[in-house]
A and B are shown apart, each in its own frame.
Chain A
């Protein structure tokens, strides 16, 4: 199988990852251990885009709102639509990031880091390093959470425990 075929065949992993993240966040399991001993808290915040295909073609649904449960979005998940984009917040220690995570490339869109302390005029290199550190910290945390998801996904526990719990939670959104 060529690389592009493999990438296309496993596209569903990004959508599953986002659904799993939402489920985790909503069932008080959205805090993840980081290799340095710290913790990363990730939750959905405000906007979810779902997509599904049926006989009429591709259907896209965007749900926006304060209500964390977002019934319509969960209903769409129950109707076999997949999450393609979600606005998330990531907290590590006192720092907080916000960005839209995309299922296809796991891109970061409208990415906002915590406020930087360095000033561009006084110390341009200081600003550069502080900003890059903050970007890399968030990217590393998302990679770590994705690795945790992968570990679970390849483990028998996925089918025995995690997936049934996820399905039950989705079903409750009907």
Chain B
């Protein structure tokens, strides 16, 4: 469930760099190559990832510039994945191996042959598997340079940051105690080096 339509978890980022004057005018072009595309029923792709409308996960066209909600750029990252349960894959492989052994009158199958069978079975089952869709909202306040992303898993966050860079050509810096501390010092007109000199406080009292 996305941040807008329900509750959820999110990671915060700071966008590195400034928007140039032409940025808004070229948004549609930037987003277009990275729009979500449905997995083709006949294709063997196991995964598809891209941007969809934040208010409608089935809209990947943005015909009315729905991603622009001033002062925000808001979209949802949709990831569709076809997965075969490992147990099902194992059972089907065993069945295929037994059939081949019987047909070819073999007692054992080589490691390479078994690997080929596994790959073939995997592809056959992949065609039958129904893709599962996951959605993660992205809200970029371009007046403050802060991005909220509706996910906290490290691998997912890395994928998101990569897609963000590909789409908008901006690097993201994850917010953490250090970056927030840095922002505080900047605001106070103090040197950021102060943070480097800080040491942990000892909380436990001497026994």
A residues touching B (Cβ–Cβ < 8 Å)? 1, 3, 6-7, 9-14, 16-17, 19, 77-80, 100, 102-113, 120, 124-125, 127-129, 131-132, 135-136, 139, 143, 146-147, 150-151, 153-154, 158, 163, 166-168, 170-171
Contacts and interface: CB of A to CB of B under 8 A. Distances in A.
A145 to B, nearest CB: 11
Main secondary structure on chain A at its contact with chain B? helix
B198 A129 contact: no
B10 A108 contact: yes
Interface string B186-207: 0110100011101011111100
Interface in B1-19: 3-5, 7-12
Nearest to B192: A6
Given A13-B198, A77-B203, A166-B203, A111 B9 contact: yes
B112 to A, nearest CB: 40
Interface of B: 3-5, 7-12, 54-55, 69, 72, 74, 139, 141, 146, 148, 152, 173-181, 184-185, 187-188, 190, 194-196, 198, 200-205
Given A10-B195, A104-B176, A109 B9 contact: yes
Contact of B4 (A7, A12, A127): A127
The 3 closest A-B pairs by CB, nearest first: A13-B177, A109-B9, A12-B200
